[in-house]
Amino acid sequence: MRVTKTIRMEQIRVLEETYRGAKPELQFRNPFELLIAVMLSAQCTDKRVNVVTKRLFQVADTPAEILALGLPRLEEEIRDCGLYHSKAKHILSACQMLCEEYHGEVPNDFEALQKLPGVGRKTANVVTSVAFGRPAIAVDTHVFRVSNRLKLATGTTPLEVEKGLMAIIPKEKWAEAHHWLIWHGRRLCKARKPLCTECPLQAVCPSAEPLVSGTCGNTKKKNRK
């Protein structure tokens, strides 16, 4: 299938129709809690992060309070989140910078966010979009996978995919589209066994030919044997 601009616009339409109103699964009450939750989400499910942050924020929910915990206590609070040694160090360093340079508040500037220890482009985009309502597309593993499979935006790096999505999706829909792609990746376009026959995008997805569930992108190769 040759993916034209018309097909890409149809993909966007179907995604919007299917996942309209989709929201983040991470639970948070303010920009700081969102920042910490996203930092903890690396190689960890949102469900697990919500368990960890619920426990952590009952003990400390401001940069100063988390700094007061110290490294050993913070590691203990987040140890079931995976990679907790490095995450704890980054969180403490970020909290220290927030206290020293931003009066304990999360900056609403994208570049400033990226200067925080442990905060990369994806995390900065999530906070920018979700917490501050600015147009942004955060490319996580789901967004990267779905975008490449659909050829909605292709690339070998998250930044390449992000730029491709920004070029094809109307700016006013960037923040929403991020959630459409995430939910599609979680529910249907899964990494190992995509549910192609259940997918509302199967007619406009180049990776779903032939339309056999669980064989996206691999069926043609198997049929040649």
Tell me which residues are annotated as active site: 122, 140
Q: Is 81 helix (H, G, I), strand (E, B) or coil?
A: helix
Buried b / exposed e along 110-145 (16+ C-beta atoms within 10 A): beebeebebbebbbbbbbbbbbbeebbbbbbebbbb
CB contact at 8 A, 209 and 196: no
Q: Is 133 helix (H, G, I), strand (E, B) or coil?
A: coil
Buried b / exposed e along 24-51 (16+ C-beta atoms within 10 A): bbbebeebbbbbbbbbbbbebebeebbe
Measure CA 28 to chain center: 15
- Got the DSSP string for 138-184? ---HHHHHHHHHHTSS--SSHHHHHHHHHHHS-GGGHHHHHHHHHHH
Which residue in the block uniquely carries the two structure tokens 């700094």?
67
* Distance in angstroms (rounded) separating the CA atoms of residues 27 and 47: 9
Residue 123: name the closest of 29, 40, 57, 25 by CA: 40
